[in-house]
């Protein structure tokens, strides 16, 4: 008989609370009753650990989010448990960017809540280098504060929920707090060392961003192109330094006539500083009297971008600017502050004896003014400008060639940009000139499967007889490929 049955049998047999008859009836039942061992109680640490884990998740999710002011950028950061490790970047109203970036079951959300426009209003102090020197240390400091916040919240959450549910002793509460701190620290450390920025190559967009596929394609290709260009930086720099010497040895590029006025026509620099280096080399060896810029000096129209082309301040000749669709009032103000900068705004100006009329692209304004028919509004403004100005302009300088073509036969030279394709086109008595892209299309050039050349044009004007306007006599179309060092010059005589 099992030991348990012996105990029951003895208890019944020796019991004084039962009659003899009752004991006789109970003993067989006790002998034959199936004995079940009681289930073992769970280890006391299991409910403690489960409560600790629940406290971490709840408190980090609801009390962990924080907002930080990082040099004018208000950024919100939050964490929450997830089935897979991913980072979500919210850029309202553009949309949401997400990527699987780390191995831990944690979802990291970063929200750009606002940008203080005042940060762009101090060009003397807010330079690219200053931005890097100030912003990144501030961002790292904010990230440190966020990590400390998560550790504190996890520790408090583990201890508080343990006390509320288990009513544990002080010793157990201390254990729960220490476990919460250790678990949160372990998750953050594993997240840090498994984090991959390359995951954003396969990022996904959600929201109203219609151009998401193109943006993703640009992101991936740009990373590859930047790596390639970085490896060839020494070659590019050396070729640019030798460009001036090679231009000087090309005798055929001398001015086509004596006493000519030489104008350098550029466009679509897209904040590429190498484009400014090319401009400076061409000015030196072509005896350029003035620079005409057909717009898109920047990509997004921010004052920060103008610091990429700040070497324009070193030019000692007139710089005439017709803003493009990627520019803005801030960019136009930057050009006005150049030592000899001029912004075309519907009035004829005379530079080196050449009369120039132009107007900013409607998209250079935020918000866009007018009736909604942007090109028609711009054409109407130019019509009114021509009517106001008694002197007939020699050059019409606008960004979009479709607008320029509307004035064929009324202005001898129509200069534009926008298409990134060099072109000389005869339209009746007028000549349409597009220099292509002097900045090699900026970041778009990195996306292209083939190298995008830097390009510009030289317009040669000879003085007219008394009472007549100067006459365009020749155009040099210049293309430069910095990686190979190849420079191509094609001259077209116009008369």
The model's pLDDT over 291-317, given as tens digits with 9 standing for 90+, comes to: 999 999 988 887 778 888 888 999 999
Rounded to the nearest integer, the mean pLDDT of the chain is 79
CB 149 within 8 A of CB 76: no
> Which residues make Cβ contacts (< 8 Å) with residue 350, sequence separation at least 6?
356
Q: What confidence tier does 199 reach under pLDDT thresholds 50, 70, 90?
A: confident
Question: Domain coordinates of the chain in residue numbers?
Answer: 3-32, 45-210, 239-493
> Which residues make Cβ contacts (< 8 Å) with residue 150, sequence separation at least 6?
60, 64, 79, 184, 188
Nearest-10 crossing angle of helices 233-248, 273-285:
20
Angle at 110 between CA 105 and CA 115, to 5 degrees: 175
pLDDT of 209 higher than 50: no
The pLDDT of residue 448 is 54
* pTM listed for this prediction: 0.58
Q: In the chain, what percentage of residues exceed pLDDT 90?
A: 40
32-36, 37-41, 476-480 — most confident range: 476-480
The dihedral formed by the CA atoms of 275, 281, 285 and 286, expressed in degrees to the nearest 10: 20
The dihedral formed by the CA atoms of 98, 99, 104 and 110, expressed in degrees to the nearest 10: -40
pLDDT of 245 higher than 60: no
Peptide bond into 93 cis (omega under 30): yes
The pLDDT of residue 393 is 93
The pLDDT of residue 252 is 47
Tens of pLDDT, residue by residue over 144-195, are 999 999 999 999 999 999 898 888 788 888 998 999 999 999 999 999 999 9
The pLDDT of residue 445 is 56
What is the b/e burial string over 276-294, where b = at least 16 CB atoms within 10 angstroms of the residue's CB?
bbbbbbbbebbebbbbbbb
CATH 3.60.21.10 matches 239-493:
yes
pLDDT of 338 higher than 80: yes
CB 318 within 8 A of CB 290: yes
pLDDT of 470 higher than 70: yes
Q: What is the mean pLDDT of residues 370-380?
A: 72
The pLDDT of residue 29 is 59
Of residues 143 and 443, more confidently modeled: 143
Report d(CA 106, CA 84) in Å as an integer.
Answer: 7
Report d(CA 107, CA 81) in Å as an integer.
Answer: 6
Compute the Cα dihedral for 352, 358, 359, 364 and give only its sign: negative
pLDDT of 371 higher than 50: no
pLDDT of 44 higher than 80: no
Place of tokens 């073509």: 405
Angle at 292 between CA 342 and CA 442, to 5 degrees: 105
Of residues 287 and 443, more confidently modeled: 287
Q: What is the mean pLDDT of residues 279-287?
A: 87
């Amino acid at each position: 008989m099992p030991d348990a049955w012996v105990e029951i049998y003895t208890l019944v047999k020796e019991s004084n609370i039962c009659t003899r008859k009752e004991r006789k009836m109970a003993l067989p039942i006790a002998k034959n009753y199936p004995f079940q061992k009681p289930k073992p109680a769970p280890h006391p640490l299991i409910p403690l650990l489960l409560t600790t884990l629940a406290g971490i998740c709840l408190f980090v999710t609801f009390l962990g989010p924080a907002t930080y002011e990082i040099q004018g950028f208000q950024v919100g950061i939050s964490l929450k448990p997830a089935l897979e490790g991913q980072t979500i970047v919210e850029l309202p109203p553009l949309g949401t960017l997400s990527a699987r970036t780390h191995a831990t079951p944690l979802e990291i959300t970063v929200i750009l809540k606002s940008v203080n426009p005042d940060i762009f209003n101090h060009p003397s102090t807010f330079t690219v280098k200053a931005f890097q020197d100030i912003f990144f240390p501030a961002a790292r400091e904010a990230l440190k504060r966020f990590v400390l916040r998560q550790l504190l919240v996890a520790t408090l959450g583990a201890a508080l929920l343990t006390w509320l549910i288990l009513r544990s002793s002080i010793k157990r509460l201390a254990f729960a707090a220490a476990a919460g701190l250790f678990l949160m620290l372990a998750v953050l450390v594993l997240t840090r060392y498994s984090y991959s920025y390359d995951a954003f190559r396969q990022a996904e967009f959600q929201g109203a961003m219609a151009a998401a596929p193109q943006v993703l394609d640009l992101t991936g290709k740009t990373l590859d192109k930047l790596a390639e260009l970085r490896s060839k930086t020494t070659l590019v720099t050396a070729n640019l330094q030798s460009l001036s010497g090679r231009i000087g040895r090309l005798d055929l590029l001398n001015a086509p006539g004596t006493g000519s006025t030489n104008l350098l026509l550029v466009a679509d620099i897209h904040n590429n500083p190498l484009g400014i280096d090319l401009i400076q080399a061409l000015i030196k060896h072509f005896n350029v009297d003035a620079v005409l810029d057909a717009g898109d000096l920047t990509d997004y129209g921010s004052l920060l971008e103008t610091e990429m082309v700040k070497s324009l301040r070193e030019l000692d000749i007139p710089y005439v600017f017709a803003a493009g669709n990627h520019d803005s009032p801030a960019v136009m103000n930057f050009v006005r502050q150049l030592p000899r900068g001029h912004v075309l705004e519907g009035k004829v100006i005379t530079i080196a004896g050449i009369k120039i009329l132009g107007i900013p692209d409607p998209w250079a304004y935020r918000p866009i003014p007018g009736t909604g028919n942007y090109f028609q509004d711009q054409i109407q403004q130019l019509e009114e400008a021509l009517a106001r100005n008694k002197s007939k302009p020699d050059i019409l300088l606008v960004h979009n060639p479709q607008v320029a073509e509307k004035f064929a036969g009324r202005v001898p030279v129509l200069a534009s940009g926008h298409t990134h394709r060099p072109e000389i086109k005869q339209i009746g008595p007028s000549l349409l000139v597009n220099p292509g892209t002097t900045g090699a299309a900026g970041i778009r050039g990195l996306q292209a499967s083939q190298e995008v050349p830097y390009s510009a044009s030289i317009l040669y004007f000879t003085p007219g007889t008394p009472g007549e306007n100067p006459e365009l006599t020749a155009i040099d179309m210049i293309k430069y490929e910095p990686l190979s060092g190849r420079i191509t010059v094609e001259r077209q005589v116009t008369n």
